[in-house]
């Protein structure tokens, strides 16, 4: 017999117990399937190894998918933050087309109501504006969500009222 075989035989006859690090169950080494890892695995051990390798591969694929989802979420969060900053800064740009003094920032459900001419004391018209950046601006319908489309439709249908309370 080899040294490893002698060691395995001695351990199995020793009466020693060992605890499974995964489940915490303690049992005698005589109940365990001990083998020389330098030789081909016994059939039972080879089958268990295959099952564990398949589970590891599946877990690895899930981990890669999760990592991709996290990257997409990070990009979306960053884009959303940039969009929120742009909503506030765009009216200050020269090419915006309206004096910043005429703009009232709402943020929700639309970004701005613009009282065109209010800074000169003469409102020529009122514009409801939502600012979209990046992929939002390229979407069909300008990337408006349902309640924003309903606001747009009410304005386009001249279904707008003015009240004094």
Residue 36 inside a domain? The answer is: no
What is the predicted pLDDT for the residue at 137? Answer: 56
Residue 23 inside a domain? The answer is: no
* C-beta of residue 116 within 8 angstroms of C-beta of residue 102: yes
Residue 40 CB contacts under 8 Å (≥ 6 apart), including other chains: 46
Residue 130 inside a domain? The answer is: yes
Kindly report, residue by residue over 45-104, the tens digit of the pLDDT: 889 889 999 999 999 999 998 888 887 777 776 666 776 777 777 777 778 888 889 989
pLDDT band of residue 128 (cuts 50, 70, 90) is very high
Residue 122 inside a domain? The answer is: yes
Residue 63 inside a domain? The answer is: yes
**Where in the sequence is the domain holding 111, given as residue range(s)?**
42-158
Residue 85 inside a domain? The answer is: yes
> Looking at the DSSP assignment, which residues form a beta bridge with residue 127?
114
What is the predicted pLDDT for the residue at 116? Answer: 92
Q: How many residues does the chain have?
A: 165
Residue 17 inside a domain? The answer is: no
Least confident of 6-10, 43-47, 141-145, 159-163: 141-145
Higher pLDDT, 150 or 85: 150
Looking at the structure of the chain, the number of domains it has is 1
Asked if pLDDT for residue 1 goes beyond 60, the answer is no
What is the predicted pLDDT for the residue at 131? Answer: 82
Q: How far is residue 63 from each of residues 53, 67, 73, 74, measured CA to CA in Å?
A: 15, 6, 15, 16
Residue 22 inside a domain? The answer is: no
Asked if pLDDT for residue 148 goes beyond 80, the answer is yes
* C-beta of residue 123 within 8 angstroms of C-beta of residue 115: yes
What is the predicted pLDDT for the residue at 150? Answer: 92
pLDDT band of residue 164 (cuts 50, 70, 90) is very high
Peptide bond into 109 cis (omega under 30): yes
Kindly report, residue by residue over 11-41, the tens digit of the pLDDT: 888 889 888 888 888 988 888 888 888 888 8
């Amino acid at each position: 017999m080899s040294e490893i075989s002698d060691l395995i035989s001695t351990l199995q006859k020793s009466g020693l117990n060992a605890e499974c690090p995964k489940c915490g169950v303690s049992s005698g080494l005589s109940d365990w399937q001990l083998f020389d890892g330098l030789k081909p695995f016994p059939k039972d051990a080879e089958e268990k190894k295959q099952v564990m390798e398949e589970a590891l591969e599946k877990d690895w694929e899930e981990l890669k998918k999760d990592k991709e989802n996290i990257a997409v979420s990070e990009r979306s969060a960053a884009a959303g933050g940039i969009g929120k900053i742009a909503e506030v800064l765009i009216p200050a740009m020269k090419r915006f087309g309206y004096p910043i003094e005429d703009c009232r920032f709402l943020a929700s459900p639309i970004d701005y109501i613009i009282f065109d001419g209010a800074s000169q004391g003469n409102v020529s018209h009122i514009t409801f504006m939502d600012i979209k950046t990046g992929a939002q601006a390229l979407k069909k319908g300008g990337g408006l969500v349902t309640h924003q489309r309903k606001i747009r439709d009410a304005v386009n249908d001249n279904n707008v009222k003015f009240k004094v309370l």
